């Protein structure tokens, strides 16, 4: 088990996404903290978002539990920081790395999926009034992520 854990820790450090960082929280290799820089082509630009990553003992055969600790206005992320992302649920594969998970989350910030929302009200605003969605997302980014 220890060797497997070291393998996935080192795989992250050998292939880190450019806009993200992550690593163990203290001595617990099953609890990581991550940081995502808001993508420049999104209303989250300039924001710094913090996430918790909890690895189950049977990782990589089960997905990690990832949640935002920074508040964010997004149709796929709720007030508790839970993330609606298929690769963290039914589309998980042991071949996915934490780098790929964080890149997928970054991509979701640029391109939300309003057809599979965790917050239907925000998805509705995204679909019907994009300028209002982007203004609110920018406002929340300034308020909570800077």
Q: What is the pLDDT of residues 19-62, one digit of tens each?
A: 899 999 989 999 999 999 999 999 999 999 999 999 999 999 99
CA–CA dist 83, 14 (Å, integer): 25
Q: Tell me the pLDDT of the chain averaged across its residues.
A: 92
Answer yes or no: are the C-beta atoms of 29 and 22 closer than 8 Å: no
pLDDT of residue 12: 57
pLDDT of residue 8: 54
pLDDT of residue 17: 76
The catalytic position among 20, 34, 84, 122 is 84
Decide if 20 is catalytic. Answer: no
Residue with tokens 């508790």: 80
pLDDT of residue 18: 82
Q: pTM of the predicted model, to two decimals?
A: 0.89
| CATH code that applies to domain 2-144 | 3.10.110.10
User: Is pLDDT above 80 for 9?
Assistant: no
Q: Where are the domains of the chain?
A: 2-144
Answer yes or no: are the C-beta atoms of 53 and 34 closer than 8 Å: yes
CA–CA dist 128, 133 (Å, integer): 9
């Amino acid at each position: 088990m220890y060797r497997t854990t070291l393998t996935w820790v080192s795989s992250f450090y050998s292939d880190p996404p450019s806009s993200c960082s992550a690593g163990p929280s203290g001595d617990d290799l099953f609890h990581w903290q991550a940081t995502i820089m808001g993508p420049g082509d999104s209303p989250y630009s300039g924001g710094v978002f913090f996430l918790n990553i909890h690895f189950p003992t049977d990782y990589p055969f089960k997905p990690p539990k990832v949640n935002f600790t920074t508040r964010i206005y997004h149709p796929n992320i709720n007030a508790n920081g839970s993330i609606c992302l298929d690769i963290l649920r039914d589309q998980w594969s042991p071949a996915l790395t934490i780098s790929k998970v964080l890149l997928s989350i970054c991509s979701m910030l640029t391109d939300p999926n309003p057809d599979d929302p965790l917050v239907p009200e925000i998805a509705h605003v995204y679909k019907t009034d994009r300028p209002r969605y982007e203004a609110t997302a920018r406002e929340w980014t300034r308020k909570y992520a800077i």
